A = this chain, B = another copy of it.
Amino acid sequence: MVRSVELVDEWRELLKRHAAVSCALERALQDGHGLGMSEFELLDRMVELDRPKYRVQELADAVHLSQSASSRLVARLERAGLVTRLMCDQDRRGIFVALTEEGRRRQTEAMPTHRAVLEQTLRAPLTSRCSG
Binary per-residue interface labels of chain A (90-132) against chain B in the complex, 1 for a CB within 8 Å, 0 otherwise: 0000000000000000000000000100110011000001111
In whole angstroms, what is the CA distance A8 to B113 when docked?
12
Q: Which of B11, B61, B66 contacts A21 (CB 8 A)?
A: B11
Question: Which chain B residue shows the least CB distance to A41?
Answer: B15
Is B118 touching A16 in the complex (CB atoms < 8 A)? no
A:72-98 near B, CB below 8 Å: none
User: Taking the full assembly, how many copies of this chain does it contain?
Assistant: 2
Summarize A's interface: helix, strand, loop or mixed. helix
Known contacts A8-B115, A14-B14, A118-B11; A64/B19 CB under 8 A: yes
Contacts of A4 in B (CB 8 A): 115, 118-119
Q: Determine if A10 is an interface residue (Cβ-Cβ < 8 Å).
A: yes
Is A7 touching B119 in the complex (CB atoms < 8 A)? yes
A:43-86 near B, CB below 8 Å: 57, 60-61, 64, 66-67
Q: Using a CB–CB distance below 8 Å, which chain A residues touch chain B?
A: 2, 4, 7-8, 10-11, 14-21, 41, 57, 60-61, 64, 66-67, 115, 118-119, 122-123, 129-132
